[in-house]
């Protein structure tokens, strides 16, 4: 087994670089997805939106609607969520 030792400063620098790479990858993937998105396919069901957000409860979805964090449309009892606004919400909430 091989052991690799880092100085503390080098380790923290590596962490910052990796985080920046992840942010860049997410941003590029989002931009590509938005560029290729058909506006007619922008609307997701509650279950699809929860899966994309990584949310399990309807209460959290209600909270996101109440605070205007994501766009939604309601026709009768059917609620649809804007995929574009969910991706923008996720981008805004990437940990620094």
Prediction pTM value: 0.60
pLDDT in tens, 21-58: 988 888 888 777 777 666 667 899 999 999 999 999 99
User: Residue 41's pLDDT is what?
Assistant: 72
User: Can you name the residues that pair with 80 across neighbouring β-strands?
Assistant: 73
Which residue did the predictor score with more confidence, 37 or 83? 83
């Amino acid at each position: 087994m091989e052991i690799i030792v880092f100085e503390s400063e080098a380790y923290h620098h590596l962490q910052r670089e990796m985080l920046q790479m992840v942010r860049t990858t997410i941003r590029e993937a989002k931009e590509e997805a938005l560029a290729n998105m058909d506006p007619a396919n922008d609307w997701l069901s509650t279950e699809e939106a929860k899966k994309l957000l990584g949310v399990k409860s309807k209460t959290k979805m209600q909270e996101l609607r109440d605070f205007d964090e994501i766009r939604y449309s309601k026709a009768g009892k059917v609620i649809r969520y804007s995929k574009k606004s969910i991706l923008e919400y996720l981008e805004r909430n990437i940990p620094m």
